[in-house]
Structure 1
Amino acid sequence: MDARAIDASGRHAGHDTLAPGLALDQIGEALASFYDDLIAEGIPENLAALVRQVHTPEPVSEPDPVVPMPVRKSGRLALVVEDEATTQRLAVSLLDETELEAIGCDSAEEALAVMRDRGGDVALVFADIQLSGVMDGLQLARAVAMLWPTAHMIVTSGRRSPRPDLLPERVVFIPKPWSPKDVLVEAERATHEPPPAVP
């Protein structure tokens, strides 16, 4: 090796001494700066491999993907009363993303059967006004307002909104096509706002 080689004291000609406290990456950078000269002078392959190993940074591992936490269910229910299957599935899927457990009903009569069984657990009833059974959504809204007044009630329709005097107090009307945001806002109210006082 020529005069540029590292001497026994750890000093390289023309360079500062490598202090014992240097970090491994700093040592690697220093060794890498001499690598080409060392190769030209025919250093053993095992030393060249060591230099490459010191200089090569560790691969950075990818962070674990963020998995959204599932929504904790409150044990309360949301009834979707809709006879159009695609719209019912959409509303049930939407409300299943909230703290409520959503149940689809094809008719007002089916919804009333659920209310008779679990009316105390129902936080929200979301019903189309036009239904295929004997009762329509307005009749269902009046029955729910009278028998289960703590349940939050929404009615919807693609036709014009019903006259205000046909809607029981506190029933919310959302026109079709409804916005998911509007439905989620009402679900939030049903879940977190205190229910109305029962006279």
Structure 2
Amino acid sequence: MPLDQIGQTLASIYDDLVSEGVPEHLAALVRRVRQTDAETTMPHAADLHVAQARQPRLALVVEDEPEVRALAETLLEETELDVVGCDSAEAALSVLQARGGDVALVFADVRLAGQMDGLQLARAVATLWPRARLVITSGHGVLRPELPTEAVFIAKPWRALDVLLEAERATADPAPPVS
């Protein structure tokens, strides 16, 4: 079976896998397929700049409390990122499926509406969209081993400056290489 068919098959069932946790060998295969697809469809440098100008980078705010989500969205709208708000991990995954390559920052609460929590979302993002900067927040304690190593934790109530600094890092720091 060709590698692109394997990738398409994995993509079609990955929602179920993400909710259960993706084994590392499967995650590595998905990253390899995505990298191969990106390399084969890589536009010329001039085309890439035009494409980036048309598709602004995104900040994804995932928070089930409408007031807190609105506050984070308003704050992040002051950055160069376009902002998309979601009330659940499932809604965030839909955005990531459609525009995952454009997502520079995922700012997610641990407790969310829906079946997945923010930690499951963080693991999925770290595995499938490793170029996105992960910021996890909660008003309850979270143990470091529960977070992906790539994630930053900001306790609630968070300070606006801390959120803006992470947004700046998401846009200024080069994206990590896809392994």
What is the TM-score with the length of structure 2 in the denominator?
Answer: 0.69
The number of equivalent residue pairs is 127
Instruction: Tell me the SS of whatever aligns to 1:177.
Output: coil
Which runs of no fewer than 5 residues in structure 1 stay unpaired?
Answer: 1-71
Structure 2: distance between partners of 1:132 and 1:116: 19
Q: Is the 8 A contact 2:55 2:102 kept in 1?
A: no
Shift of 1:165: 1.2
Determine the C-alpha separation between the residues in 2 that align with 1:164 and 1:195: 23
Corresponding residue number in structure 1 for 2:178: 198
- 1:102 paired to 2:83: yes
The structure 1 segments of at least 4 consecutive aligned residues displaced by more than 4 Å after TM superposition are none
Amino acid at match of 1:167: L
1:155-166 matches, within 5 Å, as 155-160=136-141, 162-166=142-146
CA deviation map 1:68-105 (0-9, x unaligned):
xxxx9981000000000000000000000000001110
Q: Distance in 1 between matches of 2:65 and 2:154?
A: 17
Helix, strand or coil at the partner of 2:145: helix
- 2:84 is aligned with 1:117: no
CA distance in 2, matches of 1:140, 1:163: 16
1:96-146 Cα offsets, whole Å, 9 max, x none, are: 000000111010000000000000000000000001110000000000000
Query: Does the C-alpha gap of structure 1 residues 84 and 145 become closer, same or farther in structure 2, counting only changes over 3 Å?
Result: same
In structure 2, the residue matched to 1:76 is 57
Q: TM-score, normalised by structure 1?
A: 0.62
Instruction: Give the root-mean-square deviation of aligned CA atoms.
Output: 1.5
Match of 1:143 in 2: 124
Structure of larger gyration radius: 1
- Structure scoring higher RCO (CA < 8 A, sep ≥ 6) equals 2
Q: Percent identical across equivalent pairs?
A: 61
Q: Per residue, is there more helix in 1 or in 2?
A: 2
Correspondence 1:170 to 2:147: no
Q: Where does structure 2 lack aligned partners over 5 or more consecutive residues?
A: 1-52
Q: State the secondary structure of the residue aligned to 2:116.
A: coil
Structure 2: distance between partners of 1:127 and 1:75: 20
